[in-house]
Structure 1
Amino acid sequence: MQIFVIEFEQDDPKKCTAKRMIRKGFAIRVRTPKGILLNPISNKTLSYEDREIIQKRGLTVLDSSWNKSDEKFFKKYENSLSRRLPFLLAGNPINYAKPFKLSSLEAVAASLIIIGEKELGLKLLSLVKWGPTFYKLNENLLEAYYKKSEREILEVEEEFLAGYLGGP
């Protein structure tokens, strides 16, 4: 299973989780997206249905700073294989407990868990000391999203958000 990173060099290199994935041999730096592209503004949600594409063509993460990336930035990378992650909370110290503000490593690990590659996802999380925090924070959601279709994930997400935001 190949993991690709498009780097924009916007973060502190010592704290950059994408660089860590590359250094440890879990990811490869590329200039253009390959396979499924993690993109937070995508209309499609990553699901188990994407597993075959990821196994054959890989998974790409855009490694940019949340402070320097806006909708216009992400729009440039929107394509038919773009996917957003369902609701998850960041476990990293910079954006701790903020919805959707995941590090590149958290996003890739969550993606792998969702598509049924839990062991590899947990191995990735072990590269950072706060990896277990991310998993614990999202364990129930990740288990609910695990090996589910996009429709099922959207139902879980909607139900969770209704409770999280105090809805009906």
Structure 2
Amino acid sequence: MELHVRYEGDDDPEKCSARKLARFDLASLHRSARGTPHGIVLDPYADRALSPADAEEAPHGRLIALDCSWETAEAEAFRLDGPHRSLPFLVAANPVNYGTPFRLNTVEAFAGALCILGYRHRAEELLGKFRWGHTFLELNEEPLRRYANCSDSTDVIDVQSGYLDQ
């Protein structure tokens, strides 16, 4: 699965997980929407949740993440081509948003998506580049396993509802 990032560059370069992934040649950065290839767009505002069923529909085997400030994410995501999917309930492990639900950085979004789509080994590879990376998988072990066993987006939302009700 190819990983691509629509990169805005409006965050601290020292804390940017997308830039670190690019340095290790694990993801490609793109400075414009036009230059970003077609793929499943990880969009926190999408109406449909990512599910294992999307693995079969992944255009060209690509995941696209948006790396920008949370204030501009909604507007920027609309400019990207491909099916838009939101990630279900997951908790951040990165030092900036530790313990905050739905506030994942780019590598956490990729890792969560890869686990749901059946590429856990690849998620572990990405997170292995960050000293806190294993914590993301530990914090989200049960939900990631349950989401990966769902058949479609509706099932993922049902599982997520159980976590949000707690």
Q: Which amino acid aligns with 1:105?
A: V
Match of 1:53 among 38, 52, 57: 57
What displacement does 1:109 show?
0.6
- Relative distance call for 1:79 and 1:89 in structure 2 (3 A) is same
Instruction: Mark the runs of 5 or more structure 1 residues left unpaired by the alignment.
Output: 164-168
Does structure 1 residue 16 correspond to structure 2 residue 19?
no
- Relative distance call for 1:34 and 1:147 in structure 2 (3 A) is farther
Instruction: Mark the runs of 5 or more structure 2 residues left unpaired by the alignment.
Output: none
- Which SS does the other structure have where 2:5 is aligned? strand
What displacement does 1:79 show?
5.7
**Structure 2 CA distance, aligned partners of 1:90 and 1:136?**
11
- Which SS does the other structure have where 1:48 is aligned? coil
Number of residue pairs matched by the alignment: 161
Which residue does 2:42 correspond to in 1?
38
**Structure 1 CA distance, aligned partners of 2:55 and 2:73?**
28
> Considering only aligned residues, what root-mean-square deviation do their CA atoms show, in Å?
1.7
Does structure 1 residue 91 correspond to structure 2 residue 105?
no
What displacement does 1:78 show?
6.4
Q: Which amino acid aligns with 2:144?
A: L
| Superposed structure 1 runs of 4+ greater than 6 Å apart | none
Q: Which amino acid aligns with 1:156?
A: V
Q: Percent identity?
A: 36
Whether the aligned pair in 1 keeps the contact of 2:52 and 2:116 (CA below 8 Å) is yes
TM-score normalized by structure 1? 0.88
What displacement does 1:41 show?
0.3
- Which SS does the other structure have where 1:145 is aligned? helix
**Structure 2 CA distance, aligned partners of 1:21 and 1:75?**
20
Q: Which amino acid aligns with 1:14?
A: E
TM-score normalized by structure 2? 0.89
Deviation by residue 1:91-130 (Cα, 9 ceiling, x = unmatched)? 0010111111000000001100000001001111111111
